[in-house]
Amino acid sequence: MSVFRSLADVSYLTKGSHEGAVLVHPEIWQMPDIPDYDQGQILMKRNLNPDRVQVVLSGGGAGGPEFDACVGDGLADVSVVGGFHASPNAYSIYQAVKYIGSRKGAVLLFNNFMGDCLNNDMAKELLELEGYPASCIIINDDCLSMPIEKRSERVGIQGIMLMVKIASSCAEAGMSLEQITDVLNAANQRLSSVALSIDYDSEKLMMGAGFSGEPPRKILDEFTMEKAVSECYDTLYDDLKPKENEKIFLMVGRQGRIIYEEAYIFAKELSDYSAGKKKIDHLDVGYYTRLTMTDGFHITMLCADAALEKHLKKECITDSFWL
């Protein structure tokens, strides 16, 4: 496994990235001017609408496009990002929502890691004390991190990006905080992801390795594209058991040194293989996260009925990917 490296001062990573993002794309992003606040953890859409529920995304720094690139049209209103692989503090999340000033409420989306859970829960309490309604949506899509009977204890990988898209569509439709929370909680139960690690030197395919160095849950007995595709699809399919009335949305996120072409080949092979079970209806490919430094893929499946599907139709274009 390679080690994270940066020419930039790591302590300046998030604030510096946000300052650069606003410099390059001032038409998309802004950093709020909050008195006595200079931590630089908050990145917002340029055009905010305080007359609806706000979609707030948060997570650790150096995680790739997953958080900041998800701020924009059809996605999150604000992203709050901590230091290197560290959750943002509760005060930053609280200040972001308070700055927008919407009394319609805010939905706080974050992956299921201890620091994120503690800080978002505290931010929610602070906001409610001042009359700003909020709800917490904890994303736990890593299906190999815990068995299905312990689903609530699973950690999050990249499914949070589809959840942000759903939340934004609901908010733009004028739904209440309670309604949006209900939709997201239901969607969260139909979401699953798997991490595939590829060691080209030892010719090993591994599934379920954690970003903090946890060992893989499974080492495959063949080093082939066909084996990787079938194991990944079958794992997700067996975890969710798609219903007849649901459509399958699939994200293929490349990790490490996986080349551009291989990601699209992998996606095509997944699509072809799915025809033997339940055909993938919508497929996205991109570089979404940088949770690990290993080579491989993160594959996310969402099973959506007609009510959920309508919130996934808008094509969202960012500086890093289409979704």
Domain contains 226: yes
Domain contains 33: yes
Half-sphere exposure of 201 (CA within 13 A, CB side): 3
Domain contains 236: yes
Q: What is the CATH number of the domain that holds 249?
A: 3.30.1180.20
Do 109 and 239 belong to one domain?
A: no
Domain range for residue 196?
191-309
Domain contains 249: yes
Report the distance separating Cα 248 and Cα 279, nearest Å.
7
Q: Is the pLDDT of residue 3 over 60?
A: no
Domain contains 209: yes
Which of 172, 188, 204 is where one domain is finished?
188
Do 45 and 167 belong to one domain?
A: yes
Do 120 and 239 belong to one domain?
A: no
Q: What is the CATH number of the domain that holds 114?
A: 3.40.50.10440
Q: Is the pLDDT of residue 158 over 70?
A: yes
Do 195 and 181 belong to one domain?
A: no
Interstrand relation of 29-30 and 42-45 (parallel, antiparallel or unpaired): antiparallel
Quote the crossing angle between the two packed helices 90-100 and 114-129, to the nearest 10°. 40
Q: Is the pLDDT of residue 1 over 70?
A: no
Mean pLDDT of the chain: 94
Do 125 and 214 belong to one domain?
A: no
At residue 13, the pLDDT reads 87
Report the distance separating Cα 212 and Cα 206, nearest Å.
15
Quote the number of domains for the chain.
2
At residue 210, the pLDDT reads 83
Residues 93 and 58 sit within 8 Å (Cβ to Cβ): yes
Q: Which two tokens stand for residue 312?
A: 């996934």
Q: Which residues contact 14 (CB under 8 A, 6 or more apart)?
A: 40, 41, 61, 81, 82, 83
**DSSP conformation class of 308:** H
Which of 126, 154, 188 is where one domain is finished?
188
Do 181 and 199 belong to one domain?
A: no
pLDDT band at 4 (very low <50, low <70, confident <90, very high): low
Which of 188, 208, 239 is where one domain is finished?
188
| Residue closest to 32 by CA, chosen among 121, 100, 120 | 100
Do 153 and 202 belong to one domain?
A: no
* pLDDT tens-place string over residues 94-127: 999 999 999 999 999 999 999 999 999 999 999 9
* pLDDT tens-place string over residues 301-320: 999 999 999 999 999 989 88
Q: Is the pLDDT of residue 78 over 50?
A: yes
* pLDDT tens-place string over residues 168-221: 999 999 999 999 999 999 999 999 999 999 999 999 999 999 877 789 999 999
DSSP assignment of 52-66 equals: S-EEEEEEEET-GGG
b (16+ CB within 10 A) / e for 41-79: bbbbbeebeeebbbbbbbbbbbbbbbbbbbbbebbbbbb
Do 58 and 181 belong to one domain?
A: yes
In three-state secondary structure terms, 181 is: helix
At residue 44, the pLDDT reads 97
Do 197 and 181 belong to one domain?
A: no
Do 215 and 167 belong to one domain?
A: no
- Count Cβ atoms within 10 A of the Cβ of residue 165 and give its class: 0-12 exposed, 13-18 middle, 19 or more buried: buried
